[in-house]
Amino acid sequence: MKALLFVFFKQITVPFVIVFILFSSEFGIVKQVSALGINYGQVANNLPSPEHVLRLLSSLHITKTRIYDTNPKVLSAFANSSIELIVTVPNEAVAGLADPAQAADWITTNISPFLPDTKITGIAVGNEVFTSQDSVLIDNVVDAMMGLHQGLVGLGLDSVIHVSTASSLAVLANSYPPSLGSFRPELAELIGPLLRFLSVTGSPFWINAYPYFAYKDDPERVPLDYVLFNSGAGMVDPNTGLKYDNMLYAQVDAVIFAIARFGYGGIEVRVSETGWPSKGDDDEMGATVENAMIYNRNLVARQLENEGTPLRPRTRLEVYLFALFNEDLKPGPTSERNYGLYQPDGSMAYNVGLSSATSTASVSAINSSASRIQGDKSNWLWFCIISISLALQISIRWPF
């Protein structure tokens, strides 16, 4: 009998701990509402001035944006505005910043001169580093992040500016179903130190997630309505019983599960890029204006409802749309130059309803927060029940 009990508790303990870690942040504290963000890429020769871009973002009530460098013209133009900026260390500069002295100099040159007038809230160290095939870049990214963080600590800015890196969804070995999300085995020695750094510093894990690619690669088996946030059957994770009505949320939860397998279930996952191209080559299935408008319009609507994912329903999923403009100098297939909501001349590529939708966002946020606060007491009991239930389901279907 003792042996049987030992086996039973062993089978449910690990899955229960994972589920407990993942769900515990959802019951108790209501997270502060944050604004929808957008990526402001500049790989083009015909874009409006940063001052015009600031006016455009302000008209759309966008208060968060990400740029892919530390362009001083942009940082100066955005001074004394309400826009919060994430700046980026380009991939080619990352290795040098593994030297703490160079990292400190980089902050002194690229960040400090613009503070506090410009609201710099994040530093992205490289972009899609772990899938870049550049071993020097990959080996140095975490050291560069540590050096930059220490530089911020020295200036008393570490509580204001977080340091992270944006990864491609290709860092996952498995993303379906979400509960089986896991990192590629060959990245384990690299991902571990990254997650440890993010956990210690309280920084988010940024993921570039594009359901469009899944549809383009397999349009026969991937339902278009599922990737476009349209109503439909969706899918149910057989291990957790959680229902997904769109692919983006499933992808994010797969990342959360993958992180939890390293013991860091408390790290927040944010979508640093997602979008849909409005034009593509003949072999780029689904790259149309109609699909791009539907995807981004539906995503914006959900953002303004403060939605979280099925795994973390009470934590609003922070998302940065890609991108603000079509960028005519980007290499690659036609789609790469057609992710923008706007043409370089400022005209809309298509209308996602941002200006009208965001005007009611604050009212929706207040109503949503009030209803969630009322349910806090009963949520804790429900949390305990669902954690035990899910742990039992996972232990049966997926023994550790």
Structure tokens at 387: 């954690």
Structure tokens at 234: 């969706």
CA distance 63 to 48: 19
C-beta separation of 210 from 170 below 8 A: no
- What is the signed CA dihedral for 29, 229, 247, 267, rounded to 10 degrees? -20
The position carrying tokens 């795994």 is 311
Catalytic residue among 26, 84, 128, 327: 128
What's the half-sphere exposure (Cβ side, CA atoms, 13 Å) at 125? 32
Nearest to 321 by CA among 347, 302, 344, 345: 302
C-beta separation of 310 from 26 below 8 A: no
Structure tokens at 343: 């043409």
If residue 141 lies in a helix (H) or strand (E), which one and from where to where?
helix 135-154
Concerning whether 84 is annotated as a catalytic residue, the answer is: no
Peptide bond into 323 cis (omega under 30): yes
Position 133, amino acid: Q
Catalytic residue among 26, 84, 268, 273: 273
Handedness of CA 40, 45, 51, 52 (dihedral sign): negative
CA–CA–CA angle 106, 112, 116 (5° rounding): 150
Concerning whether 318 is annotated as a catalytic residue, the answer is: no
The residues annotated with a catalytic role in the active site are: 128, 273
